[in-house]
Structure 1
Amino acid sequence: MLKRISHAVLMGLLPFGMVACGDSVLNSQQTDAANTQNQPHIQMAADVNPLINEAEQKISVLTTKMELAKQQGIDVKREETVVWFAKEFLKYADWDEKNETAVEKAFSYYAPYKDKSKQLAKELPDFERRKVIEILDAGIDELSAVMNGEIKRRAVNPVDWQNIEVADNMLKSNGRPIFLYDYFSKTVGQPLTNKAIYNDHLGAIFHGGENLYPVDHDRAINSFLLKEDGTYDQALLKEVTDIDNSNVGFLIYWNMGIPEWIEKREPEVRKGRSLFTGYDIDNPLVRETWGKIAKDTGQLTRGKKVTQLGYILANEPHWFSESNHWSHQFKEMNDISSYTLNNFRAWLTEKYNGDIQALNNNWQSNFASFANVDIVIPIDKNTQGTPIWYDWNRYHMDRSISWFTHLQSELKKGNPEADTHIKIMPNMFTENSRSHGIDVEALTELTSMIGNDAKAAEKRFLHIKKEQEWEKHYAYLWEELSVSYDFMESVSPNKIHVNSESHFLSASWWRDLDTSVEYVENVYWLATLQGMDANMAWFWARDPDGSFEDRLEGDLNFFDPALAGSFAGSVNQQPHIANEFTQVMYDLNSFSEEIIALREQRRPIRLFYSETSAINKKFHMSQQFKLYEKLFFDGFPMGFATQKIIQKQDNNQWDNIVVYKTEFVTSAELSALQNYLDQGGTIIVDAPQSLSKNEYGKPHKKQLKATKGTLIQLDGNQSLAEIRQLALENANQGLPDIRLTENNGTEHKGIRWQVVKQDDNSYLVSILNLGKHTAKVSLGLKDSVKDTFKDRLSLSDDEQVKLLITDLFTENTQQNHFSVESKGVHLLRVVVQ
């Protein structure tokens, strides 16, 4: 909801700054210590009935206010959602209370909660009821403020789910930009037409009074569709082809299994499998089978609304191939097939121009020919930084690119208009490992949409005991989300961006029953400002009566170890979070034009990214994040430059490229940087070591030369702050006209802000406080801009330019000095007077 009245904590019967834990009450300092125990804290009530009565009374108060508000012409869609969730979760709480044993079992499946599963199951119903009361209190307060004229808010911009337009770089509804939302999994076993599950509150805003359909993403295309004789299993095929054509949605290729008839014909087909891809992607019969399925299902579903958000070519693909990796317990890349080995030999032949001696010199080996080259997979992780490590991991990426290129190519034979994306795990980019076979740049470039399942976390991952660096400065872990989104948007700036399994509300190793609504609001604003057009949250698993969905009933033993424990501590037990997810999407869609304007802001500074260094170095991405973080809070979206970005995109879209701790680059990467300089570009290189070696660690014979451009070669003794300052100075013309200064009591910034100039010469300013502290913020004009406005307004030297600032959430004016609480969100209009 629009929490613009105050950011006071509503804790029911508890005073401010205190939180319940079992039977004890802890103060805020004790709470920090308790959280390190990695257990949720649920308040226990002595008597259930007073909570139910209180909630029902507040539902009555809110619904009465809603009727009065309607008479004043006030939009009350937000309050309709509050009431719906309140009633639903009161029902869920009753079910949880009557089925305590089942709830206890659900908690026990999640390892961090197992030891307290009995206590948590007993406390859950009253916890849910108290959170219902909280959302009702907040709803009453906000609607009262609107009715009293204290604030003005925009009406919700509803989604016309039957008439979504897939436009250039955005989705539209009724001609306006729209951000779609739903849950990735929706109570398996329930029909899509069940309005108790598929409705405006849980993922489809009702519009038009009939024919309500949400995002449809339940049908999976898998290899069991095709029989050995080349015909299709018609019952399975009908599940894909008979989807109601009213539904906007997507289809997914599900790659877990492989039919027995293929395994009989190809005994090696399981070699080189991975967690979510149950077969060898180099196997000719697999490629033939999947090619036919892709082409035929593409043709059969061509033009259907269920494909408007594209075909997902894979669920979380990765093939970790290094020794002693966690994935090996799931038989991931425990070995490779003869097909993979022979393809690797062919790749090496081309890479070394048929010169086996060159390979032997590089690998320190003694192979008689490329036909005799052999390699042990999983590869020894201690070989990282050596030629054999680089060659294998570069080939490993190229082979997955070949696989997805093949799938997409065959799909487009059946459906030339098909949009595609891949549910890429963004940590394939942001984390240091590169043995997984995923080239995020190449796959983002390949597909017509950007795809991922990015996560964020308000608390430390539950299996980590030691305090993390981010916890010292930030309100939540945003690194994976922001770094990956800025990279993917830099690679493909004009593509629709679909997060088909958003893990902002919970993930395998993080969740918290007391997740704050402020976090949900902040993280969804951040993700949307950074490019996200559609997201399906993980996950909704309540049937209408409050019981678990079919697949979570009884004893659970899934191959995917995360699924069994997913219900515990999820949004399904948090009315405040379920409600806030919908409310923040209402807000985002109310301001969709402003968000699009902010997203189109130029990226003036580009951090150079080299996959070559990422493969060769143990901690390359950790090092890159240090500089990215340093520039993240300077009023513009960060950007990346790669060899391909430099070669394929307009170089005038940025003012400089910064190279930081990037020792290994190919000759082609070095040439791209040189060509950028030759065209007059500016490059800042942090130290002589950067760009000094090729992919095999050999010194480059050539070095960058300034020519027509500006080359700032540093000696390696500069601090991050000094490099940042140089980058800003060399991008001055591209920096925002409005300047923001922040004081949060520390030397570490937390305000992520953006500025775009509007056609009427006003400025749109977005402010998100990612920091853990309240920040005092001041807005002003850049000196050169200030002088321009003084001339335009005919002001004397003694007269000062003034800023008229309007809070767009409330339409109230405010001073240019104000405070932003941790996880606070502001959207302002600034007019120069």
Structure 2
Amino acid sequence: MMVLAALPLSACASSTNIGLNETHAASEMEQARGDKDTQITLTTGALEAKARAKIVQLEMLMEQARAQNIDVTREETTIWFANEFLKFANWDENNQAAVEYAFSQYRYWADESKERAAAVPDFQRKEVHNILDKSIAEMRQILSGEVQRRPVNKVDWQNITVADNKILSGGRPIFLYDYFSKSVGRPLTDKDVYNDHLGAIYHGGQRLYDVDHDRAINSFLMNEDGSWNEERLGYLTEIPDTNVGFLYFWNMGIPKWVEQREPEVRKGRSLFTGYDIDNPLVRDLWGKIIRKTGAMTKGKKVTQLGFVMANEPHWFSEKGHWTAPFQEMQEISSYTRAKFRLWLKNKYSANIGQLNKNWGTNFKSFDKVEIIVPISRETRGKPIWYDWSRFNMDRSIDWFSYIQGELHKVNPDAHTSIKIMPNMFTENARSHGIDYEALTELTTMIGSDAKATEGRLLRETEPQNWESKYSYFWEELSLSYDFMNSVSPEKIHFDSESHFLSASGFRKMDMTPEYVRNVYWLATLQGMDVNTGWFWARDPDGSFEDRLEGTLNFFDPALAGSFVGSVNQQPQVANAVTQIMYDMNSFSEEILALREQRRPIRLFYSETSAINKPYHMTEAFEAYESLFFEGFPVGFATQKIIEKQDNRNWDVIAIYKTQYVTDAEFVALQAYLNGGGTIIMDNMSSLSMNEYGVARTAKLNASKGKIIILNGINDLGAFKASLLKEAAQGRPDIILSEDNGTAHKGVTWRAVKQSDGSYLVNALNIGINAAKLSLKKRDGSLLNATDMMTGKKLGASFEIARNGILLLHVEQK
């Protein structure tokens, strides 16, 4: 593994201007950068001195720009980060023991902790040079008139309107940004950490891991005698009523008095939900706490973005899962067992004989039914696995329905979301108790905790599937976002812990700003309205936040190693995050127009197949990936979507490798055909069984609609071609062609026709190579494109860099 000391400056440099498209300013940047080889060999003192000279140089250019009424918000942020990271580098250099210890806590780098700690101060200083070089080059282009850019649409953090499906600032759509659990220990009014550069959303989870001083809503707010812990309630009331914000329901702990009264309360706990959600005392306690705090905070700005009802909930209940050492679902309580028995009785219409037939058992009655939890993975695909997994989902739906209901009793307009990790949907596991569709539908906002990585997960020793085709791992982000937005298209999407920059299993010290810009743009294009990234843990003097000082010993060991290799040590990454948010907020109307497009093709999703099949989501992604680069957003259909949404919102439903569906799902598909809908199915094995693997004798009937059954086995190409043909009228009437030197497309694009006949086109290159693009109308007419971010004329053919972003105004020649 390469250590930081081995990273040359050029490995961290880029030919991309912050705020500009990648292809426009390489020569100017090289001129501004100066002699790179000389820069690398500068002493620490000289590195800082030269950086400060560049700050002065940039400030002089900014004065010229101001004199011409040119907005310099982007440059102000670059200078702020430059000064901060020069300070941080000095702190790291003067506190080598602390930095080395921090590196030692990240298991993948522990053996190199000394070398990495020694290298990181100058690494940061060199990255400061990079962001200044790029900003100087860009400012020169702006002043020369070579490039025109829009002024930044700055967030007015104290005057935010939360509309039905968008956030507004000054009447314009805005995308909010911040960092999760930012600089724990700092007051919310500290301008050094709450500002335009880092974001300024107030959140009550700022001190989540310190129960005694927790601003989040937790189990310790009420005493055993029913009185309130006024000191802890005070942590909520002391939050300034100035900035937009949100509050957490933090579910880790449970008071000792509850454990004494309910010895089973820890049975059925999960990693971040430290108690049994079926326990009646827990439900009573939380109901009272939610009603109290919901009433206290009603109408406050800190709840404008609502209440996050759980942090990364899941209840993995299969043997051998990685959550077992955290005591997740290692046994279940008598309350859960009784609830399961009642669920089974209702599911089987009180017919114990049918259950025994399915399970291969001989229980005398439903109140005698037993099950071993954690359940064996060998039972997947069998009725007992389906029944337990489906019940595990239904009981979590019941829990979240209850706590949301208690909140809405006292604060009916309160927004809610759940910070669900999207891999609960995109990965194949299904013993986790998370019904992604039901919980997305339940809450008033979409909630998520998405991950993307510019590189392989560090625990992987073999190449991952995406590496040969794409510049980064985007599957979890895109697949989950499109599914959630198909379920709830009119809801604001709040990603309250985005892991685009680092995750427990991923770090990359030479992360490129191009990747950062691309992934934030992609997430926003696919629906993200608010994000708080993981995470900002520097105090203003450069030291670590309160939680990360001293001995690091947490229940969740991932936190101990979370600082190193994060945004807190990467000036280019930190600057790129804010710069891309500035750019997107300058084009917020255009981005909304692009993402609110109709989804002409809907992939049918069945939780029934996902529960039963070991690789259903792997197969579902095959179909999704094949359509992702065709000029329109991919959509999903489910039984509920078909029943509740206007079926005219799409042209065709695609059914791919979906063998198991319930009778209710089958009936919904038939009703869609009865109403004149169109279905394309891969082969007769899809829809062939019910949830218990019993063969279905009924077949879909075209009725007033149209059904095409391809009878192909693994012929994804024919499946895709048939879908595109059937949805031709719903696709853009322009064509973007791509040549990237591979057999795989890598540019995902969208086009919206404007009222004047022109087109708004967005192209994002997530492919492994740069690509040559060309635009034309379907009737063969030629087109001219203008880069809206730079004002440059591109014509009908042009290039897009790896991780490039193009927002184009396209007119007919």
On the 8 A contact 1:475/1:771 being kept in 2, the answer is yes
Once residues 331 and 752 of structure 2 are traced to their aligned partners in structure 1, the CA distance between those partners, rounded to angstroms, is: 52
Select 1:347's aligned residue among 343, 366, 382: 343
Structure 2 counterparts to residues 650-729 of structure 1, below 5 A: 650-717=646-713, 719-729=715-725
Please give the per-residue CA displacement for 1:265-308, whole angstroms capped at 9, x wherever unaligned. Answer: 00000000000000000000001111111111111100001000
On the 8 A contact 2:159/2:243 being kept in 1, the answer is no
Select 1:272's aligned residue among 268, 274, 283: 268
Letter in 1 for 2:790: T
Provide the residue aligned with 1:625 in structure 2: 621
Provide the residue aligned with 1:561 in structure 2: 557
Whether 2:107 is the aligned partner of 1:122: answer no
SS at match of 1:418: coil
SS at match of 2:74: helix
Provide the residue aligned with 1:522 in structure 2: 518
On the 8 A contact 2:765/2:803 being kept in 1, the answer is yes
On the 8 A contact 2:630/2:748 being kept in 1, the answer is yes
Letter in 2 for 1:455: K
On the 8 A contact 1:182/1:215 being kept in 2, the answer is no
Please give the per-residue CA displacement for 1:459-507, whole angstroms capped at 9, x wherever unaligned. Answer: 1001111001100000000000000000000000000000001100111
Count of equivalent residues: 786
SS at match of 1:127: helix
Once residues 692 and 587 of structure 1 are traced to their aligned partners in structure 2, the CA distance between those partners, rounded to angstroms, is: 49
Please give the per-residue CA displacement for 1:611-633, whole angstroms capped at 9, x wherever unaligned. Answer: 00000000000011011000000
Structure 2 counterparts to residues 488-567 of structure 1, below 5 A: 488-567=484-563
Structure 2 counterparts to residues 325-336 of structure 1, below 5 A: 325-336=321-332
Please give the per-residue CA displacement for 1:25-83, whole angstroms capped at 9, x wherever unaligned. Answer: xxxxxxxxxxxxxxxxxx97562122112101100100011011100110000000000
Whether 2:128 is the aligned partner of 1:132: answer yes
On the 8 A contact 2:660/2:691 being kept in 1, the answer is yes
Give the deviation of 1:701 after TM superposition: 2.5
**What is the root-mean-square deviation in Å for CA atoms of aligned residues?**
1.7
Select 1:2's aligned residue among 19, 33, 36: 19
Give the deviation of 1:802 after TM superposition: 3.6
The runs of 5 or more residues in structure 1 that have no matched partner are 21-42, 205-212, 787-800
Give the deviation of 1:757 after TM superposition: 1.0
On the 8 A contact 2:483/2:636 being kept in 1, the answer is yes
Letter in 1 for 2:558: A
Whether 2:803 is the aligned partner of 1:823: answer yes
Give the deviation of 1:197 after TM superposition: 1.3
Please give the per-residue CA displacement for 1:724-759, whole angstroms capped at 9, x wherever unaligned. Answer: 010000000000011111111111010000001112
Provide the residue aligned with 1:31 in structure 2: none
The change in CA–CA distance for 1:82 and 1:45 in structure 2 (over 3 A counts) is same
Whether 2:85 is the aligned partner of 1:67: answer no
Please give the per-residue CA displacement for 1:94-136, whole angstroms capped at 9, x wherever unaligned. Answer: 1111111110001110011111110011111110000000000
Once residues 7 and 642 of structure 1 are traced to their aligned partners in structure 2, the CA distance between those partners, rounded to angstroms, is: 47
Letter in 1 for 2:24: S
Give the deviation of 1:715 after TM superposition: 1.0
SS at match of 1:67: helix
Once residues 378 and 157 of structure 2 are traced to their aligned partners in structure 1, the CA distance between those partners, rounded to angstroms, is: 52
Give the deviation of 1:192 after TM superposition: 1.1
Once residues 407 and 831 of structure 1 are traced to their aligned partners in structure 2, the CA distance between those partners, rounded to angstroms, is: 52
On the 8 A contact 1:163/1:173 being kept in 2, the answer is yes
Whether 2:343 is the aligned partner of 1:363: answer no
Once residues 109 and 191 of structure 2 are traced to their aligned partners in structure 1, the CA distance between those partners, rounded to angstroms, is: 33
Once residues 164 and 591 of structure 2 are traced to their aligned partners in structure 1, the CA distance between those partners, rounded to angstroms, is: 15
On the 8 A contact 2:629/2:748 being kept in 1, the answer is yes
Select 2:633's aligned residue among 627, 637, 644: 637
Whether 2:572 is the aligned partner of 1:576: answer yes
Please give the per-residue CA displacement for 1:582-613, whole angstroms capped at 9, x wherever unaligned. Answer: 00000000000000100111100010000000
The change in CA–CA distance for 1:387 and 1:15 in structure 2 (over 3 A counts) is farther
SS at match of 1:684: strand
SS at match of 2:515: helix
Whether 2:801 is the aligned partner of 1:805: answer no
On the 8 A contact 2:782/2:796 being kept in 1, the answer is no
The change in CA–CA distance for 1:19 and 1:317 in structure 2 (over 3 A counts) is farther
Letter in 1 for 2:238: D
Letter in 1 for 2:20: K
On the 8 A contact 2:32/2:136 being kept in 1, the answer is no
Is the deviation greater in 436-445 or in 225-234? 225-234
Is the deviation greater in 159-168 or in 585-594? 159-168
Letter in 2 for 1:6: H
Give the deviation of 1:721 after TM superposition: 1.2
Provide the residue aligned with 1:403 in structure 2: 399
Once residues 778 and 507 of structure 1 are traced to their aligned partners in structure 2, the CA distance between those partners, rounded to angstroms, is: 37
On the 8 A contact 2:33/2:133 being kept in 1, the answer is no
Task: Report sequence identity in percent.
Answer: 60
Structure 2 counterparts to residues 204-603 of structure 1, below 5 A: 204=200, 217-218=205-206, 219-603=215-599
Give the deviation of 1:508 after TM superposition: 0.6
On the 8 A contact 1:475/1:770 being kept in 2, the answer is yes
- TM-score, length-normalised on structure 2? 0.95
Provide the residue aligned with 1:832 in structure 2: 812
Once residues 798 and 203 of structure 2 are traced to their aligned partners in structure 1, the CA distance between those partners, rounded to angstroms, is: 40
Give the deviation of 1:200 after TM superposition: 1.3
Provide the residue aligned with 1:738 in structure 2: 734
The change in CA–CA distance for 1:718 and 1:434 in structure 2 (over 3 A counts) is closer
Please give the per-residue CA displacement for 1:130-153, whole angstroms capped at 9, x wherever unaligned. Answer: 000000000000011000000000
Give the deviation of 1:6 after TM superposition: 3.2
Whether 2:768 is the aligned partner of 1:751: answer no
On the 8 A contact 1:475/1:822 being kept in 2, the answer is yes
SS at match of 1:280: coil
Letter in 2 for 1:156: V
Give the deviation of 1:199 after TM superposition: 1.3
On the 8 A contact 2:188/2:239 being kept in 1, the answer is no
SS at match of 2:310: strand
Once residues 303 and 267 of structure 1 are traced to their aligned partners in structure 2, the CA distance between those partners, rounded to angstroms, is: 38
Once residues 14 and 8 of structure 1 are traced to their aligned partners in structure 2, the CA distance between those partners, rounded to angstroms, is: 10
On the 8 A contact 1:203/1:214 being kept in 2, the answer is no
On the 8 A contact 1:183/1:539 being kept in 2, the answer is yes
Letter in 1 for 2:762: S
Once residues 645 and 165 of structure 1 are traced to their aligned partners in structure 2, the CA distance between those partners, rounded to angstroms, is: 29
Give the deviation of 1:258 after TM superposition: 0.3
Is the deviation greater in 7-16 or in 143-152? 7-16
Once residues 783 and 33 of structure 2 are traced to their aligned partners in structure 1, the CA distance between those partners, rounded to angstroms, is: 41
Once residues 368 and 274 of structure 2 are traced to their aligned partners in structure 1, the CA distance between those partners, rounded to angstroms, is: 28
Whether 2:194 is the aligned partner of 1:176: answer no
Once residues 422 and 25 of structure 2 are traced to their aligned partners in structure 1, the CA distance between those partners, rounded to angstroms, is: 32
Provide the residue aligned with 2:8 in structure 1: none
Provide the residue aligned with 1:210 in structure 2: none
On the 8 A contact 2:155/2:196 being kept in 1, the answer is no
Provide the residue aligned with 1:188 in structure 2: 184
Letter in 2 for 1:803: L
